[in-house]
Each structure stands twice: as C-alpha cells, then as structure tokens.
A and B are shown apart, each in its own frame.
Chain A
Amino acid sequence: MPLTDNAGAVSRADMEREEILLGNGAIALGLVESGCQVLASYPGTPSSEILPEFIRLAKSNGHAPYTEWSTNEKVALDTAFAASITGKRAACCMKQVGLNVAADSLMSAAYMGTIGGLVIIACDDPGPHSSQTEQDTRIMARLAKVPVLDPSNPQQAREMVELAFIVSEEFRIPVILRPAIRVCHGRQNIAFGPIKGKERKASFAKDPSRWAATPRFRLVLHGELNEKLDRIAMKFEDLEPYNSHNLTPGTGYRLGIVAGGVPCSVVHDILKEENRSDIPLLRLGAPYPFPRALAGDFMQACEKVLVIEETDTFIEYLLRDSNKVLGRLSKHVPSQGELTPQVVHEIINHLLGDLNIKQFKTFEDPKAVDLVRSLDLPVRKPTLCPGCPHRAAFFAIRKTNPKAIFTSDIGCYTLGLNLGAVDTCLDMGAAITMASGFFHSFAQDGVTQPIVATLGDSTFYHSGATGLLNAVYNQARFILVILDNLTTAMTGMQPTPALGIRADGSRGGAISLERIVKGCGVEYIEVVDPYDIQTTTNSLKKATDYVNDPDGGIAVLITRHPCVIAYKEEAITKETKVRVTDDCVECNFCLDRFECPALFYDKDVGHININRQICRNCGVCIQVCPKKAIVEA
C-alpha cells in the first residue's frame, strides 16, 4: 500500500525528546498536545502531512484519536464541527483553496459557534508553488467573522494550535490557523512538551435555535458573534509575543514596520542582521479581530509605517491611514508573489532610500543575477514522472482526438499540458463540469465539438460525481477519462476510497469508481490499462463513436495503472529496457508528444537517447516512435 514518508524524524533518546519536524509535524504535535480527539482532512499542498504526522505522534503518545481522509474539505469541516459540538476538541486541515470548498460550512459554523474547541487549519501558498491562487486566508476569516492566527515559523505554529483551542473554547467560536507554505514545509528542531488536553466523552445537548437555527434565530446568532469578536479583540490587544512591538516608550521613529506570519520572521531576521534597532517592528500574529489600541500606539510612535504581509492587503486596510501607511496600496510592496528575504530586503532598503534614512549595509550583488541571466539556463518545468501511466493515456487521447477540447483538473495530470492534451484547469472537478459547459455552448450553435475530459481518481471522489450527475441529467456529450493510478499522487500518495484503506491504515469500505460512474447514470464504461497504447486507442475510438451516436451519451473510460512512485513493484511488473537505434531520424515526435524526461537528444550519438539515470524501464515508448527506432535492448 502506498504510504507517505513520515519515518524521517529521529529522536534524541539520550536527552529530552526532540525531533526535527516539518512545520506540518509541529502543527500535528500541537494538536496532540492540545488533546485534539478528531482530525479530518483532504490532502493538498502545503497541508498534506499534518494528518499523517498527527497519527504518528498520537500513536507514539499512546493516544487513539479519530482521524479520516475525508472525501473533500467541506466534509472534513462538517465532521470536525459535529465532533466539536459533542464537546470534544476537533480540527480539520486543508490547503487554502480547500477552504473555498468548505466555505459553506465555515460561514454557518461561525454563527452557530462551538462547544469543544474547533480549529480550522488552512494552509496558504504564496508564490504560488503548488496552487491555482495566492489567496489570503486571513480575508476568508474576516469574511466568516472568525479569529485567525498567523504563525511565522513551525515552533510558533505548534504553540498557536493550543492558543487556537483556548480561544475557541473561551468564546465558543471556530478559530482559523493559517500557516503559509514556509511554515508547513519549513523544518525546525522541536522539543516535545507535556500533553495538556484531556480526553472528553461525547454528549450532545439539543438546542434547535442554535444547531438548526432558522433565519430569525440567525439574526440573534449574528449579534452574538459580533459581541464575541469585540471581546476577542480585547484579548488580542494583550497577546505577547504574537501581538507585540518593541517600541521604547517616549521615543519617536521615522519608520516602523508592521508584519504578520512568515514575513514577520523574515523582517525580524533582516533587522537583526542589519543591526537596525532604529526601526521598530509590530508583530501581528493574531491580526483578526484587530488589536486596534496596540496598532494605534505603534502608529503614533512612527512617522511612516510599512506593512509587510502575505499575500493580500489585510493589515494594511485595517490600519486605515493612507497618509501614514505604506504597502501594497501605495505600491511599495509587490501585489503578487512570495515575499522572500531578498524581496523584503529590497522593499525596506528602497524605502529607506526614499525617506532619506540610512540604508542597509548589505545588498544583493546584482552581478550574480546578471551573470545567471546571461547564461540563458533552460527553464525546468514540472513534468510527469518517467513511467507515469498518465503520460501513456494522454498520448492516446491526443492521438485519437487531435481536434478535441481537453478539459482537465487539479492533480499530477495537469502536467498533461506538456503533451498538448490539457487545455483547461479551473478547480477540483471542473474537468467534467467545464466539459458540460463547452458542450452546451457549442451545441447551442449547432456545432459538434469533440471534448475529452481528464481527471484523476481522487479528484473524482472529491467533486467529480456531482458534475457527472449534472452532465447526464442535462444531456451533455463528451468522453470522460478517469486517470486511475490508485492513489492521490501529487500530494504524497494518500489512499482513495477505492482502496478501502483509511488514514490510519485500518480497513474501510471500498467504493469502486465503476460503481459510482454507473450510479451517476452513465451507460458506457470501459476500463483499460493505458500502458497498452493500442488497446487504449481502440477504446477511445469506440468511445468517440458512442458519444457521436444519436442514441449514445457520455462515455467514461477508466485508464487504470498503478502510480510508479506509490507502487514501485506493481507498476512495472516486467522491466523492459529500451534503446534507440540509428533508425531515429530526430523527428522529435517522442519529445513533443510523449515528453518522457528519460528521452533526450544526445549530441554525442547524434539522435534521441535514453537517460538511464531516470528511465523506469516501462517500455511504453517502444509503442510511440513512428520510425520504430525505440526497441527493446
């Protein structure tokens, strides 16, 4: 069975227990220490490792919490919410765009409130490194009217988990923890502490005016929520060290910096390295509800205030003084992209120059950057792995349907765009819903537009079925290829509901893709092994005929082959070592259409060759070469 690699950390048994943890591991440790009894999650970078680490650390402490990989983020939030109102400490974790899926629950849960602490961990991705947006979860917290904590490194994230539970229980409100990617995928040595939370027994006190509130009661709940926020704001005024500044009383400053989250640690380290005690720092690790008096003191002491925050204008708006406050709105800070140390260093240094204040001692040597630019290095774009079954499927799809619109989805297979077999990628499940939309938009004009939708198995379980039901109901016509590699590959090989293996390794109910597809009303379902390109091609042709037949409909092809990373043994049962013969005419067909990273143009031999360092010996490329120049070695 596929497993994530969590065996990494080594403890120092000879001293107090200390491990080098991933930020997500530090968050998991915080959850264990706080006595979190229920944790539900859907994997998504950068949040994916929290749940497996929680299971590992809880087990090593002799705990048996309830954990699950939920089918999607909304399911995860609902699950944790229910546990919370039975009095237990519960949490859910997801990536930032996952909170969009769970937003329906979040908005309502804020009104209803909690009993046991409820912590919603939504991990942001400034960059973005592995996401479709750079959205700022603090704004989602403001929209839902719930408190948000914004840690600046793994250790702080671990501490803030406990703080989040305390605030949640004191004020009966869900609390969002939003670690950004540099927290989640940071690493830090963390000393273990005592377990503070106590296990509780579930109980549920019926109270329909709260737990099933109608609009009339919702107004009452909204009033309660506003009153809670006022009280929490008071608490956040006095929340050292997370909300604090280093002003010397009675001193005036030319420039002060306000920062939260990861940029807070970056600014701190830069000011320390530059030895600049003349620039005070206001840390806002708990920026909402906004500690107005604390910020007011800081504003008063400084002539100008620069706001460094990721990724939007959250604190900057809350400071509300456009004459004094500098940041994104005044164009001093870029409005997109990660605020890396060099970016932050440049922003501050530039502003110091503008304000005629002494600039930093060190600055980046522009010669290095110019030199690297002059080398004209190849851009390395992400690609599907050598041996990836998706590559074979995409090759066959492109070959049989060259004129189709290729709608696709979120996962490894977005990289099918390198093979010219992915045209769109909107959100989870949109391969199917956009295929419907394309179909109807063209059909309205009387145009028969071929459409092939591709999405992965895990994405189908997440949000494929609703769209497929809709497509069948509304008579759309397209081919849907479910790329089934028997795992959630991109995020680190979490199991899917098809396998009947649960997050903690225990047995679960296994639900096959075929059964769901059939249940959605699809009549045409075929399963093929994409490594066999000829058979896959034939199946795609038959599927095309069915889609075009007046009595036909939506055709679903499941291309099933184990992921080469998750299933090292099973994926390639018989290794086929290949070589390229002199029949190669350098037509580059294999590079353009198959795009396996193990194929490259070899100057030394004067034609395409195989990079043995990375070739997985799947042998699929033998079927691809039009000149039959790739043969078994």
Chain B
Amino acid sequence: MPQLRGLHSGLSQKSYCGGLKSLMETINIILCGLGGQGILYMTKVLAQTALRNGWNIMGAETHGMAQRGGSVVSHLRIGEVESSLVRNGSAHFLLSLDLIEAYRNLPFLAPRSKIYVNAAPSLFPQTLVKKYLIKREIRFHSFDAYRIADELGAPMSSNLSLLGFSSAFEKGPFSHESLISTIEKISPDRFKKSNLDVFNAGFEWGRKENLQGAR
C-alpha cells in the first residue's frame, strides 16, 4: 500500500487490489485520447486529488509536436515510485476520451483492472476486445461523454464528463466527493459552475449504469 501522509484517502482500498500482486504498492493510471481533448486537465484533477489525500504522485505528459492532433497518453502513478511511465500490463485504470485510442492503449491494462471510454456503449468494446477484456477480468464501461458535455453547452468538456462517469463506480480511481472538491478548487471562477455541471451529469449516467449492474 502506498504510504499515507496524513488526511484520509478518498480512494477505496479494495478498489485497485485486483492488479498484479507485485504492483500492489502503486496505483497506475493511463489517460488517453487526442491532442486538444483536455487530457492534461483530467490528469491534473486526479493528481491534485491524490495530493490532497496525502499521496505522492509521479506523472508523464505529452507536449510539443505530438500534441498537434496526434495520440496523447498521460501516465499517472500514485505511490512511492521513482519513474513516471506505466509499464504494459500494469495499469489499474485506463480512461480514454477516444474510442480508437482506447483500443491502442489496451496493452497497458493489468488483469482485473478497469477501463472507461468516451464512446456510445453500442460502439465499445468490439467483439474481439470484449472477449479479451472478459478473459482478463477487466471491467469496462463506456458512455457518450461528448454528447452529455455538448448538451450542457460545453463540447470541450468531454474530459470532465468521462471523469464524472467513472467516479460513479465503486471501483473508480477516486471517490466522487474528493474529485468534486478538487474541481471546485482548481476551476477558474467563470468555468466552475459549467465544469461541475458536466462532471455531475457524467456521474448521473454512471450511477444509473451502475444501478443496472455492470457488464
């Protein structure tokens, strides 16, 4: 277990123990999508939440040429580590803002990990991927995060909508409340209400899906 440095953890202790036994000391998260979708912001919300809960974080981001419309992957590791990149087969959570990028980054996932994708449930996962996920006991959830954000007049906020969605599941990386308080703290005043609305709308979708029973 990562060493707590005060305050209570917003992270359910059971939540990430499904990974490989040797990786239990660290929580590895992959956030991916396309340049311009706000992946760095999503990473920031998670990292700040971890910090506010008293955990150490280490992350790796994409800048420069690769940002111009290309695939973007952000790595976030929570716990006592020296290096910033998540190794294939060792991510406990993967959040993807793009369907294709979700597929591309599948090798990062550890057995019994969780994947959340911005895509209509009819689109994700396709048959072969579904078989693979089930075989490795990887939990998967997808929803149209873009549509929800767009309906609220914030088409650029798919990131927060997906994050809200993922927070509705007991096995999400952080508690809903701890993420809300981070978003409140780091959003500029003029975006605060909109950010929280989108996040909460995503959460509601997730909550409903959760009630219907996870696939």
Q: Chain A: residues with CB nearer than 8 A to chain B? A: 8, 10, 12, 18, 20, 22, 45-46, 48, 129-130, 152-153, 182, 185-189, 262, 264-266, 268-270, 273-275, 340-342, 345, 361-365, 367-369, 371-372, 374-375, 377-378, 380-385, 412, 414-415, 490-492, 597, 612-614
Most buried by B among A189, A381, A614: A189
Smallest CB-CB separation from B40: which chain A residue? A8
Q: Chain B: residues with CB nearer than 8 A to chain A? A: 20, 22-23, 25, 34-36, 43-44, 47-48, 51-52, 56-71, 76, 81-90, 100, 103-104, 106-107, 109, 126, 128-129, 132, 136, 146, 155, 185-186
Contact residues in A for B155 (Cβ distance below 8 Å)? 612-613
Cα–Cα distance between A442 and B51 once the two chains are bound (Å): 62
Subset of 9 A-B contacts with CB under 8 Å: A10-B185, A182-B85, A186-B58, A187-B57, A189-B57, A268-B83, A341-B83, A362-B23, A382-B68
Smallest CB-CB separation from B80: which chain A residue? A272
The 3 nearest A-B residue pairs measured at CB: A45-B64, A130-B64, A341-B87
Contact residues in A for B100 (Cβ distance below 8 Å)? 377-378, 380
Shortest distance from the beta carbon of A26 to any chain B beta carbon, whole Å: 12
Cα–Cα distance between A340 and B30 once the two chains are bound (Å): 15
Residue contact B52 to A377, C-beta cutoff 8 Å: no
**Contacts known (A18-B51, A377-B103); A153 close to B82, Cβ less than 8 A:** yes
Cα–Cα distance between A266 and B106 once the two chains are bound (Å): 21
Cα–Cα distance between A172 and B57 once the two chains are bound (Å): 37
Residue contact B68 to A415, C-beta cutoff 8 Å: yes
Most buried by B among A182, A262, A380: A380
**Contacts known (A368-B106, A369-B107, A492-B63); A380 close to B57, Cβ less than 8 A:** no
Residue contact B22 to A275, C-beta cutoff 8 Å: yes
Residue contact A367 to B132, C-beta cutoff 8 Å: yes
Contact residues in A for B88 (Cβ distance below 8 Å)? 341-342, 364-365, 368-369
Starting from the known contacts A8-B44, A368-B132, 12 additional A-B residue pairs (CB-CB under 8 Å) come to A20-B48, A153-B83, A268-B83, A269-B82, A273-B23, A275-B22, A364-B87, A375-B103, A375-B129, A377-B104, A380-B70, A612-B155
Pick from A48, A187, A273, A414: contact of B47, CB under 8 Å: A187
**Contacts known (A152-B82, A341-B85); A361 close to B57, Cβ less than 8 A:** no
Cα–Cα distance between A336 and B60 once the two chains are bound (Å): 20
Secondary structure of the A side of the interface? loop
Contact residues in A for B61 (Cβ distance below 8 Å)? 22, 185-187
Shortest distance from the beta carbon of B111 to any chain A beta carbon, whole Å: 8
Cα–Cα distance between A426 and B203 once the two chains are bound (Å): 49
Residue contact B63 to A130, C-beta cutoff 8 Å: yes
Smallest CB-CB separation from A44: which chain B residue? B64
Pick from B51, B63, B86: contact of A189, CB under 8 Å: B51
Contact residues in B for A270 (Cβ distance below 8 Å)? 87
Residue contact A597 to B82, C-beta cutoff 8 Å: no
Cα–Cα distance between A362 and B70 once the two chains are bound (Å): 31
Contact residues in A for B67 (Cβ distance below 8 Å)? 382
Contact residues in B for A378 (Cβ distance below 8 Å)? 100
Residue contact B47 to A20, C-beta cutoff 8 Å: yes
Cα–Cα distance between A412 and B82 once the two chains are bound (Å): 33
**Contacts known (A375-B128, A382-B68, A383-B69); A262 close to B106, Cβ less than 8 A:** no
Shortest distance from the beta carbon of A306 to any chain B beta carbon, whole Å: 17
Cα–Cα distance between A236 and B69 once the two chains are bound (Å): 44
Residue contact A20 to B57, C-beta cutoff 8 Å: yes
Cα–Cα distance between A384 and B128 once the two chains are bound (Å): 34
Shortest distance from the beta carbon of A512 to any chain B beta carbon, whole Å: 28
Residue contact A268 to B185, C-beta cutoff 8 Å: no
Residue contact A130 to B65, C-beta cutoff 8 Å: yes
Residue contact B66 to A382, C-beta cutoff 8 Å: yes
**Contacts known (A46-B64, A340-B85); A186 close to B59, Cβ less than 8 A:** yes
Cα–Cα distance between A584 and B62 once the two chains are bound (Å): 37
Contact residues in A for B146 (Cβ distance below 8 Å)? 613
